[in-house]
Amino acid sequence: MTGGCPRTSTGEIAYPVEVDYAYARVPGDLFSPATALLPSAGLVRWAPLVPPLDVPGLGEGGTPLVELEPGVLVKDESRNPTWSHKDRYNRVAVSAAARLGAPGVVVASSGNHGASAAAYAARAGLRCVVFTGENLPPAVDAFLHAYGAVVLPVPVAARWPLVRRVADEFGLHPVSNLTLTHTGHAFGPEGYKTIAYEIHADLGVPAAVFVPTGYAELLFGVWKGFTELCRLGVTDRVPRMYACEPAAGGPLARALRDGVAATHVEVGPADAYGIACPVGGDRGVVAVRESGGEAILVDNEQLTAARAELARSGLWAELSAAAGLAGLRALRSTGRSPDLDGPVVCVSTSSGFKDRAVGSGARTSSHEHGGGVGAEWAEVYRRLRTDGIGYW
Amino acid sequence: MTGGCPRTSTGEIAYPVEVDYAYARVPGDLFSPATALLPSAGLVRWAPLVPPLDVPGLGEGGTPLVELEPGVLVKDESRNPTWSHKDRYNRVAVSAAARLGAPGVVVASSGNHGASAAAYAARAGLRCVVFTGENLPPAVDAFLHAYGAVVLPVPVAARWPLVRRVADEFGLHPVSNLTLTHTGHAFGPEGYKTIAYEIHADLGVPAAVFVPTGYAELLFGVWKGFTELCRLGVTDRVPRMYACEPAAGGPLARALRDGVAATHVEVGPADAYGIACPVGGDRGVVAVRESGGEAILVDNEQLTAARAELARSGLWAELSAAAGLAGLRALRSTGRSPDLDGPVVCVSTSSGFKDRAVGSGARTSSHEHGGGVGAEWAEVYRRLRTDGIGYW
């Protein structure tokens, strides 16, 4: 489940176990608009096409598409139970732990993934051990503890070996990666693919999907969901998949350029901590190539501009979460954008609460788009104070 | 709209303008389960029964019911666009501003209400001025600024007069209270009542609803929604409505005890800043009395215990948001709980990110339910460090 495919993996590249289904037995009306979409159902809505849901849900998924401008929609994944897309992953991955009889889960994460695993483990009455980096965002620190996780800050290089060791010694089920190149938990993308089902229910098949990309599990999951809709005869095409990686890293862009299945990169300083990954996996390469998409690198400035653009539309996203929109803007600005015939969807993965600057005293957002007290209001404020002896 | 009813209000009690509809013209299938519930629709889903939605939405509402134990469900309002119930209010209140041609909105709030108003104003291209207290929670400070609001910290006593003055001088539409006892924006509860429609779609009519209560606009809105379902013949009963106020204040409990329409109280120190209100309004009294409910006072200890109980089920709530569950537990512990025949719903209004302690360095949550590194894991951690020369 988490060690990669034993037959195809090599000493340099790990390949994930790929999950297949008895597609011929999927009920014909699963994608019918008449089928109820009650938000409380969560991933159960798609039970015939997801792994067994052994642990109780939190109403994950069912997130809205929010129009940013005509033809550009944001899939707002901050509307999940722990306010990120990771809840789709952890409903199925923690279910695997329960099915295997593990006493809990272990995960390496300094952000959304660990918090989400902790929430689903808590709900299922399972233990959760999270190896974090030493610079945990204040909000993530607070909610990991709230869910009752055991939080162990360790050096970055130690995280994966420690996950393996704790898994071996204590029988905790690992829900993050253990392999040389990324494979992650085999069930993760099976949760993510429900994003494709929902986009299809809302909109049909868009021309392209722009996805914040770290290990590319989300990118692959969304792509897989659309390929399944084709396979089942529900649709006849798959959107172009655009991987949007921080320019400080970009293992998928490198792998595509070098024509390899997966590779490693050095990661420079990146504020988008959620997707600044040193290692990729072959699933991202497959999703981009098969769909006629591309890997786009976005720098901090482009990410910050995209985050501000989202906030101007009422969506406060984590910096990493703005990578999808940043990628769309970057692609359009190059002039080499292919003819995207139809609406495009940018996935926004998480809420702005989770950035490091929030609660640390630094206020990065206020000056991004003139949101501070401008000259006009500074004057009003001064006058209110001067006049306002009765109030102050 | 915001000055109270000019005919019925007196020098001591303000009564709100009450919104009525041409109920006979509501489409017969509005509450039919077959009607699509796409999450992107937001309040538009209920357009025949809400005020005009002039500003674009963010997919507000459509939040799940999460089972806490058999017969106890949590309506998780942290799943809204700005992660609180206030988005239902502001979609309609900011729409009123747009319809009136105001250049923006003004609001007094140190929490969810201001942030939500700022998001909807930003999306509509309107200005938003927020008078806050001087002890703004870090996350609220961050996201108010992200949405581009003008944030003006002022003494608490100055907030309402300043809202009125800025409304008068600059023509900004006030979306918070301006009256002696609480009336708030007349449209606010019209947004909140969609919670009742959704609970009914998911569950039918519960035996009781427990609602975190400050000014009681949410309480009244949910009650009104159920009364409308009766009026339209969709159901034949209304749940008992339980107002759950912090014991440090409790203007609604006082008004009910004193047999008055609304009153003021002194508010003592309360961590549940979102609902520690010094003034009530008559709507809360109406909802509790008409439904056979009660006002329950919950102290900090009960709130903290309820927040921890929610976190153990994977729901990280703001302290104020846990008041609904705290009220249920308090009522049951008294032994004077009426026979509640059927499931009960506790509304959880907002996410844990918004509490003051998050990001301030204080970590209040970690010890609430043993979520820290317990003795077992402290030993494991020590051993990993000792053994782990290769890792550290």
pLDDT of residue A337: 78
| A256 interfaces chain B, CB cutoff of 8 Å | no
User: What's the gap between Cα A54 and its chain centre?
Assistant: 22
pLDDT of residue A317: 96
pLDDT tens digit string along B270-322? 899 899 999 999 999 999 999 999 999 999 999 999 999 999 999 999 999 99
Structural domain ending residue among the three candidates A120, A141, A174 = A174
Per the DSSP assignment, residues forming a β-bridge with B298 are B246
Residues A169 and A191 in one domain: no
| CB-closest option in A58, A142, A314 to B81 | A314
Distance from CA of A158 to the nearest CA of B (A): 4
CA distance A24 to A232: 8
Give a yes or no: residue B97 inside a domain. yes
Banded pLDDT at A378 (limits 50, 70, 90): confident
Q: Which residues of A214-242 are buried (b: 16+ CB within 10 A; e: fewer)?
A: bbbbbbbbbbbbbbbbeebebbeebbbbb
CA distance A59 to A56: 9
CA distance B4 to A72: 41
Cβ atoms of residues A84 and A139 within 8 Å: no
Give a yes or no: residue A312 inside a domain. yes
Query: What residues in A contact B313, CB-CB < 8 Å?
Result: 122-123
Q: How many domains does chain B have?
A: 1
Residues A307 and A208 in one domain: yes
Cβ atoms of residues A277 and A184 within 8 Å: no
Cβ atoms of residues B293 and B208 within 8 Å: yes
CA distance B320 to A7: 53
Query: What residues in A contact B351, CB-CB < 8 Å?
Result: 83, 353
| A197 interfaces chain B, CB cutoff of 8 Å | no
Statement: residue A36 has pLDDT above 70:
no
Structural domain ending residue among the three candidates A147, A174, A201 = A174
Residues A244 and A213 in one domain: yes
Q: What is the mean pLDDT of chain B?
A: 90
Residue B130: CATH number of its domain: 3.40.50.1100
Residues A160 and A192 in one domain: no
Banded pLDDT at A41 (limits 50, 70, 90): confident
User: What's the gap between Cα B95 and its chain centre?
Assistant: 19
Comparing alpha-carbon positions, the chain B residue that sits nearest to A169 is B380
Statement: residue A364 has pLDDT above 50:
no
| B380 interfaces chain A, CB cutoff of 8 Å | yes
pLDDT of residue B364: 41
> Is the Cβ pair A138, B138 closer than 8 Å?
yes
What residues contact A249, with CB distance under 8 A and at least 6 apart? A265, A266, A267, A268, A270, A276, A277, A278
pLDDT of residue B359: 63
Measured CA angle at B151 (ends B147, B156), to 5 deg: 135
Strand order in the sheet with B127-132: B150-153, B127-132, B104-108, B173-174
pLDDT of residue B361: 53
User: What's the gap between Cα B348 and its chain centre?
Assistant: 8
pLDDT of residue B130: 95
pLDDT tens digit string along B77-133? 999 999 999 999 999 999 999 999 999 999 999 889 999 999 999 999 999 999 998
Banded pLDDT at A235 (limits 50, 70, 90): very high
Residues A205 and A306 in one domain: yes
User: Which residue in the block uniquely carries the two structure tokens 């000792």?
Assistant: B386
Q: Would you put residue B315 in left (φ > 0), alpha (ψ -120 to 50) or beta?
A: beta
User: What's the gap between Cα B143 and its chain centre?
Assistant: 18
pLDDT of residue B368: 37
Q: Which residues of B191-220 are buried (b: 16+ CB within 10 A; e: fewer)?
A: bbbbbbbbbbbbbebbbbbbbbbbbbbbbb
Give a yes or no: residue B106 inside a domain. yes
**Tokens of residue B12, six digits:** 């001591």
pLDDT, average across residues B1-24: 91
CA distance A257 to A253: 6
Give a yes or no: residue A96 inside a domain. yes
Query: What residues in A contact B64, CB-CB < 8 Å?
Result: 38-40, 42, 58-59, 62
Torsion from C-alpha of A319, A153, B322, A358, nearest 10 degrees: -30
CA-closest candidate to residue A263, choices A276, A282, A244, A248 = A282
Residues A197 and A278 in one domain: yes
CA-closest candidate to residue A294, choices A245, A225, A226 = A245
Cβ atoms of residues A195 and A222 within 8 Å: yes
Q: Which of residues 31-70 of A touch B (CB under 8 A)?
A: 33-34, 36-40, 42, 56-59, 62-67
**Tokens of residue A331, six digits:** 């692609």
Give a yes or no: residue A20 inside a domain. no
Distance from CA of B201 to the nearest CA of A (A): 8
pLDDT tens digit string along B152-169? 988 888 888 899 999 999
Cβ atoms of residues A293 and A243 within 8 Å: yes
| Per-residue three-class SS string for chain A | CCCCCCCCCCCCCCCCCCCCCCHHHCCCCCCCCCCCCCHHHHHHHHHHHCCCCCCCCCCCCCCCEEEEECCEEEEEHHHCCCCECHHHHHHHHHHHHHHCCCCEEEEECCCHHHHHHHHHHHHHCCEEEEEECCCCCHHHHHHHHHCCCEEEECCHHHHHHHHHHHHHHHCCEECCCCCCCCCCCCCHHHHHCHHHHHHHHHHCCCCEEEEECCCCHHHHHHHHHHHHHHHCCCCCCCCEEEEEEECCCCHHHHHHHHCCCCCECCCCCCCCHHHCCCECCHHHHHHHHHHCCEEEEECHHHHHHHHHHHHHCCCCECCHHHHHHHHHHHHHHHCCCCCCCCCEEEEECEEHHHCCCCCCCCCCCCCCCCCCCCHHHHHHHHHHHHHHHHCC
Burial grade of B156 (CB within 10 A; 0-12, 13-18, 19 or more)? middle
Statement: residue B254 has pLDDT above 70:
yes
- Tell me which of A143 and A69 has the higher pLDDT: A69
Give a yes or no: residue B127 inside a domain. yes
Distance from CA of A352 to the nearest CA of B (A): 8
> Is the Cβ pair B40, A79 closer than 8 Å?
no
Residues A204 and A150 in one domain: no
A134: containing domain: 85-174
pLDDT of residue A13: 93
Distance from CA of B358 to the nearest CA of A (A): 6
Helix (H) or strand (E) run with residue B246 in it: strand B240-246
Complex ipTM over 0.90:
yes
pLDDT, average across residues A132-147: 86
Per the DSSP assignment, residues forming a β-bridge with B242 are B210, B294
pLDDT of residue A116: 97
Give a yes or no: residue B110 inside a domain. yes
Residues A163 and A252 in one domain: no
Give a yes or no: residue B56 inside a domain. no
Helix (H) or strand (E) run with residue B127 in it: strand B127-132
Residues A215 and A237 in one domain: yes
Residues A223 and A153 in one domain: no
Residues A115 and A253 in one domain: no
Residues A170 and A195 in one domain: no
